[in-house]
Amino acid sequence: DAKTTQPPSMDCAEGRAANLPCNHSTISGNEYVYWYRQIHSQGPQYIIHGLKNNETNEMASLIITEDRKSSTLILPHATLRDTAVYYCIVRVNAGGTSYGKLTFGQGTILTVHP
């Protein structure tokens, strides 16, 4: 799986958008971009994933650059409960089934303050 680079920490004011960047310059054509987060003392939680198109769900939006070498996770209206470690991971999917292992890096510690 391709390596990712994320800033170690970021701050965001409550109610504002949080934009978390991720570089994955060695991503392969069949690798997806996944985002997970881990709130203190809990297991990681799936947020969103995409291949090359921008994606949106009830939790967040994912913007992937045209060359797919970087992406941004957007939390449109951050709340204090969004304070967590956010992990950007790239991996291969096999068809429509979860496949293989998920390798976590160090992630970005996002702190949302009042």
Partner 1 sequence: DAGVIQSPRHEVTEMGQEVTLRCKPISGHDYLFWYRQTMMRGLELLIYFNNNVPIDDSGMPEDRFSAKMPNASFSTLKIQPSEPRDSAVYFCASSGPAYGYTFGSGTRLTVV
Q: For partner 1, which is the closer residue by CB, 81 or 101?
A: 101
| Per-residue contact string for residues 54-83; x = within reach of partner 1 by CB under 8 A | ------------------------------
| Per-residue contact string for residues 17-36; x = within reach of partner 1 by CB under 8 A | -----------------x-x
Residue showing tokens 């990681």: 44
98 scored as a contact of partner 1 (CB under 8 A): yes
- What would the two tokens of residue 70 be? 């970087």
49 scored as a contact of partner 1 (CB under 8 A): yes
Alpha-carbon span 113 to 104, nearest angstrom: 26
- What would the two tokens of residue 6 be? 């994320």
- C-alpha closest to that of 112 among 87, 76, 88: 76
On whether the CB atoms of residues 104 and 38 are closer than 8 A, the answer is no
Contact footprint for partner 1 (CB under 8 A): 34, 36, 41-46, 49, 93, 96-98, 101-106
